[in-house]
């Protein structure tokens, strides 16, 4: 059972953890051939090959079209290849997409996007969502997996929340293993919850649509 103290902790982390995306000016949406994003595929599937196993994620284009296309741009251009899951909190989230293997920050190549958190998808266990800064429309390239049901990250009467745009359909056990790795305060980054041994997304691939 999750304690009240844990809930307060998670709410506090929500305010500080998921705000690492670099704020840049939005760029053209024509910088990637739209055909590469499988525009007619309502539920595209991305294969993530990590150093801890393979994860398959099904994206929900009807509910989060802007977010899905933005995520897929990084996938088809290799923008997520050889990146680190740089912040991990057991029982909460596994976050990545924004740093290379040596924990160097990566730019939001395709700018920032509109917050689609009011789409009906919730930050339930094994869902995938976008990290952002305090500004609601500041998500760029960073994403996270929910390791638990994180209601504090959902939109509310006075908060935008964080956009969920799909869920894990294979490899839940891999994410659970990630969530259990040892972490530390990284003095070079001045950041908590950094894995002691780097957890790496080796390659992300948009799979062909099912016939």
Q: What is the pLDDT of residue 24?
A: 38
Number of domains in the chain: 1
The average confidence (pLDDT) of the chain is 89
- At 93, is the secondary structure helix, strand, or coil? strand
31 in a domain, yes or no? Answer: no
166 in a domain, yes or no? Answer: yes
Q: Name the pTM for this structure.
A: 0.88
pLDDT(8) > 50: no
Range of the domain at 109: 4-22+36-206
141 in a domain, yes or no? Answer: yes
Question: For the chain, what percent of residues have pLDDT higher than 70?
Answer: 85
107 in a domain, yes or no? Answer: yes
CB 16 within 8 Å of CB 94: no
CB 136 within 8 Å of CB 160: yes
The string of pLDDT tens digits covering residues 30-51 is 589 999 999 999 999 999 999 9
Q: What is the pLDDT of residue 10?
A: 52
Rounded to whole angstroms, how far apart are CA atoms 71 and 159?
23
66 in a domain, yes or no? Answer: yes
Q: Which of 135, 101, 130 is nearest to 24 (CA)?
A: 135
176 in a domain, yes or no? Answer: yes
Rounded to whole angstroms, how far apart are CA atoms 76 and 68?
12
Instruction: Look up the CATH number of the domain holding residue 152.
Output: 2.40.100.10
Q: Give the pLDDT band (50/70/90) at residue 22.
A: very low
What is residue 23's DSSP assignment?
A: P
């Amino acid at each position: 059972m999750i304690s009240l103290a844990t809930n307060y902790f998670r709410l506090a982390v929500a305010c500080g953890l998921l705000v690492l995306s670099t704020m840049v000016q939005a760029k053209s949406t024509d910088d990637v051939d739209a055909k590469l994003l499988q525009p007619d595929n309502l539920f595209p599937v991305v294969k993530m090959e990590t150093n801890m196993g393979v994860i398959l994620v099904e994206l929900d284009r009807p509910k989060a079209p802007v977010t899905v296309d933005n995520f897929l741009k990084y996938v088809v251009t290799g923008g997520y290849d050889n990146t680190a899951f740089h912040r991990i909190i057991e029982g909460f989230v596994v976050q990545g997409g924004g740093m290379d293997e040596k924990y160097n920050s990566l730019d939001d190549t395709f700018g920032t996007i509109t917050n689609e958190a009011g789409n009906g998808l919730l930050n339930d266990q094994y869902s995938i969502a976008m990290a952002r800064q305090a500004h609601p429309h500041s998500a760029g390239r960073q994403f996270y997996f929910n390791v638990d049901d994180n209601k504090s990250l959902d939109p509310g009467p006075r908060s935008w929340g964080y956009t969920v745009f799909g869920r894990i359909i294979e490899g839940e056990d891999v994410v659970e293993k990630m969530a259990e790795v040892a972490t530390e305060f990284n003095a070079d980054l001045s950041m908590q919850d950094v894995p002691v041994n780097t957890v790496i997304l080796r390659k992300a691939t948009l799979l062909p649509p099912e016939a």
